[in-house]
Amino acid sequence: MTIIRLANTTSAEISTELLRARRSAGNPAEGLVLTLIIVCDESEYPEAKDASMEAGREHPSRILLVVTGAGRNASLDAELHIGEGTPGEVIVIRMRGAVAAHSASVIRPLLLPDSPVVIWWPGKAPNNQTADQLSQLAMRRLTDAAASARPLAGLKARARDYIPGDTDLSWTRLTPWRALLAAALDQYPATIKSVVIESERGNPSADLLASWLHSRLKVDIARKVSNGPGLTAVRMATAAGDIAITRPDGLLASYAVPGQPERLVALKRRNFTELISEELRRMDADEVYERAIKSLLDGERKTVSRPAATKRATKKAPGQGTAAKKTTSTTRGR
Amino acid sequence: MLVIFGVTGDLSSKKLMPAIYDLANRGLLPPGFALVGFARRDWAHQDFAKVVHAAVKQHARTPFREEVWQQLSEGIRFVPGEIGNEESVNHLAETIADLDEARGTGGNHAFYLSIPPGLFQTVVDQLRSHGLAEQHPDRWCRVVIEKPFGHDLASAQDLNRIVSSVFPASSVFRIDHYLGKETVQNMMALRFANQLFEPVWNNNYVDHVQITMAEDIGIGGRAGYFDGIGIARDVIQNHLLQLLALTAMEEPTSFEASQLRTEKQKVLAAARPTERMDLHTARGQYAGGWAGGERVKGYLDEDRIPPNSRTETYAAIRLNIDNRRWAGVPFYLRTGKRLARRVTEIALGLKRAPHLPFTKTDTEELGYNAIVLRIQPDEGVTLRFGAKVPGTQMEIRDVNMDFAYGGSFTESSPEAYERLILDVLLGDPPLFPQHEEVELSWEILDPILDYWASLPNQPELYEPGSWGPQGAEAMLARDGFTWRRP
């Protein structure tokens, strides 16, 4: 592995150096499929760096790790990691002062030609994502509400300025849960009367799951606080008993459907690499996520009208099967 | 013997002199080679030799070797003087005669006019009156001129009249360094040595072509030259239209200069701008701001640029080629300064497959297939096509298959100027455009320039370090395309 350090540099110099490094590594051809921009500050850097090294394994990419910092003097330093051990190219770019305020001008020349650009904030995401100059370069924007101090507020902010291409990793964490729940309703298409979600306090995935189930099933969602880790259980009440998925240890879940024996399902909490790899597989907008996150705001506005919604849902007993099917098919689509 | 007029210029120290050294270093220059510089400087031969030495050390691509330098420095002379001054030219003629004797050049001379076109008349006249431009059957006398070859059709014709009054067409070499790039020549290899590309190289499969030449720098010290000229005259007229000709021309019957030229002329004669220039052209001027991590000035704030200048620093045009191969395929040419990165490429966009046996969501991210010829900085070829994303789902996304010259041929490709200087010395002109091509290019560009000149407003401002003004995006969007991010 080669590490090339450039101090007080420019984008043009970084490009030239990249090309030279690729040539001297004997592999001037570029087989990279996407550019992944990772934005963090110094305190988040070590973790972001490890994650970035891993993230490119499945999708050979040019990874631009943008570390911004305040400072009186403008400076731009870069570190190029190329060669074996590093998937694709990892370029650490440190910006300070006025350069950091114009980060897009540094990053734009470094994007791979005509291929997708994904941006990921492993820590704090910008307050107004649509206005953020770096996020405008990307077609997919990944945030992580779980990393913020007030996850639910973070999610709601995401919902307010949602644009197609946004995804929050707290939603990605739900994929196996959603697949299981949808499969359960496929197997046992009963009318759901109510749902209980148990999770740690302030778990954004649980918030999103509640919002998704509410928007799909149109029933009341009750929340219970558990000791975690993360999401610990989802129980959907039907006339014949509960459809329940419980995962007390964050590894192995038990899966119960009325009239069938209880079964075990591996439902490990996944690490960043797996989450990012999953998101990088899709470059189009996640419409199911859009509906789920937007209905977080509905809940906020329509707290009064909720009982009415519940009533309508219970009345429409035969329609429930269709709702469940719809859920299933959307999950598969993702 | 190479005589350079205007030898103190940037081009001469950055490109010409290093290229001459590199040629010598590769053993490609004859032992009797001599270099004469002519400029308005009070230098002795040694001073000039020092300048050449410094230029070579700094810019040459091959390692510096003392013995090569000694061979070269023996033949270096400098003639101080004014263009138009009889005495200076006498001095020049004497120097040349001396060198002919001392170095055994065989009386072969090439005059490189690295000077503003306005001075051509004077220089050419003086060369003639001092008998320096005489053609003899057993030796050669050539003239090399640099772009711009005029600033419109009429001036190009004037220029040609001046030069051809003294030098026959076969002795006039118009240097367009782009044509010396390896990849440009490789385009011909790619197109005509392969069976793979020819079948799709037409309007049955290609739906549009984008030719881009972007620079990340501003006008730098070229204010005096650039303002009032603009990038369309500076780049589109020569480089981009030559690239277009090489991309779109039919197969020449051989690679003899005359055959190649015939094909280029045919396709240039068939190319024309669209009638609605308001819809199919765009121009811009870079604003101030940040580019590539540096604070940069806007065009109007550059030194010696008038604050109300309407000179464009970005130009995009659409051309149609009226022949069987290309009817209905728009060719989009764009060029600009202070864009995101320095890159030149030709991209042929292919039509979508007529039927896709996948669901709509599977192919949502699938763009169009493309054949991209990268000219610089990373010379090579890229094929772009759809491939399945690994995983359980059927998800199709664009991928690039890349071929890079840097790795495939370890011998570093010769710099364009080396190739061109060598061709001048050998008298091998296929890469040099002749006046017919130059005039045809102006015929294509003139209507667009006239249209722009008739517009009352300033060119649209664009952010430095971006990919150009909004107008250019809109221009392609009207036809249902988008610009590639090169």
Report CB contact under 8 Å: B289, A102.
yes
The answer, yes or no, to whether residue A262 has pLDDT greater than 70, is yes
Q: Where are the alpha helices (DSSP H) in B214-298?
A: 223-226, 230-231, 241-248, 257-270, 277-280
Mean pLDDT score, B93-106: 86
In 3-state terms, what secondary structure has residue A192?
coil
Burial class (CB in 10 A: 0-12, 13-18, 19+), B168: exposed
Task: Say which of B390, B464, B485 has its CB closest to residue A113.
Answer: B485
Give A105's contacts in chain B (Cβ within 8 Å): 289-293, 464-465
Task: Say which of B361, B367, B404 has its CB closest to residue A29.
Answer: B404
Pick the residue of A13, A67, A102 with the most B CBs within 10 A to test the interface with B by mutation. A102
**Chain A nearest-CA residue for B407:** A28
Mean pLDDT score, B405-434: 71
The answer, yes or no, to whether residue A308 has pLDDT greater than 70, is no
What is the secondary structure of A110-147 as a DSSP string?
Answer: GSPTTS-EEEE-SSPPPSSGGG-TTGGG-SEEEE-GGG
Mean pLDDT score, B171-179: 80
Residue whose C-alpha is closest to residue B183's, from B347, B423, B376: B376
Calculate what percentage of chain B has a pLDDT beyond 90.
42
How does pLDDT run across A271-286, given as a tens digit for each residue? 888 888 888 888 888 9
Domains and CATH numbers, chain B: 2-146 (3.40.50.720), 179-478 (3.30.360.10)
A115 at B interface, C-beta within 8 A: yes
Please tell me the predicted confidence (pLDDT) of residue B413.
Answer: 56
Please tell me the predicted confidence (pLDDT) of residue B386.
Answer: 92
A7 at B interface, C-beta within 8 A: no
Q: Which of B239, B280, B355, B435 is catalytic?
A: B239
A264 at B interface, C-beta within 8 A: no
Res. B412 pLDDT band, cuts 50 70 90: low
**A103-107, B58-62, B63-67: least confidently modelled range:** B58-62
pTM: 0.86
Burial class (CB in 10 A: 0-12, 13-18, 19+), B328: exposed
What's at A223, amino acid-wise?
A: R
A33 at B interface, C-beta within 8 A: yes
What is the secondary structure of B301-344 as a DSSP string?
Answer: GSTT--TT----SEEEEEEEE-STTTTT--EEEEEESSBSS-EE
Please tell me the predicted confidence (pLDDT) of residue A85.
Answer: 66
Q: Which of residues 116-155 of A touch B (CB under 8 A)?
A: 116
Please tell me the predicted confidence (pLDDT) of residue A300.
Answer: 61
The answer, yes or no, to whether residue A323 has pLDDT greater than 50, is no
Please tell me the predicted confidence (pLDDT) of residue A273.
Answer: 83
Residue whose C-alpha is closest to residue A134's, from A115, A150, A119: A119
How does pLDDT run across B247-269, given as a tens digit for each residue? 999 999 988 878 888 999 999 99
Res. B430 pLDDT band, cuts 50 70 90: low
Mean pLDDT score, B128-149: 84
Q: What is the ipTM of this complex?
A: 0.83
Task: Say which of A30, A76, A281 has its CB closest to residue B293.
Answer: A76
The nearest CA of chain B is from the CA of A106 a distance in Å of 4
B210 at A interface, C-beta within 8 A: no
Chain mean pLDDT for chain B:
88
Give the span between the Cα atoms of A239 and A259, in whole angstroms: 12
Give the span between the Cα atoms of A105 and B333, in whole angstroms: 24
The answer, yes or no, to whether residue A317 has pLDDT greater than 50, is no
Please tell me the predicted confidence (pLDDT) of residue B391.
Answer: 79
Please tell me the predicted confidence (pLDDT) of residue A171.
Answer: 95
Q: Where are the beta strands (DSSP E) in chain A?
A: 2-6, 34-41, 61-69, 75-82, 89-96, 117-120, 140-143, 166-168, 194-199, 221-225, 231-238, 241-246, 252-256, 263-266
B177 in active site: no
Chain mean pLDDT for chain A:
83
Pick the residue of A32, A76, A105, A175 with the most B CBs within 10 A to test the interface with B by mutation. A105
Res. A1 pLDDT band, cuts 50 70 90: low
Q: Are B284 and B458 in contact (CB under 8 A)?
A: no
**Secondary-structure percent of chain B, ordered helix, strand, coil, rounded to 5:** 40, 20, 40
Please tell me the predicted confidence (pLDDT) of residue B13.
Answer: 82
| Helix pair B120-129, B153-164: axis angle to 10 deg | 10
The answer, yes or no, to whether residue B152 has pLDDT greater than 80, is yes
Calculate what percentage of chain A has a pLDDT beyond 70.
86
The nearest CA of chain B is from the CA of A17 a distance in Å of 12
Please tell me the predicted confidence (pLDDT) of residue B88.
Answer: 87
Report CB contact under 8 Å: A114, B484.
yes
A99 at B interface, C-beta within 8 A: yes
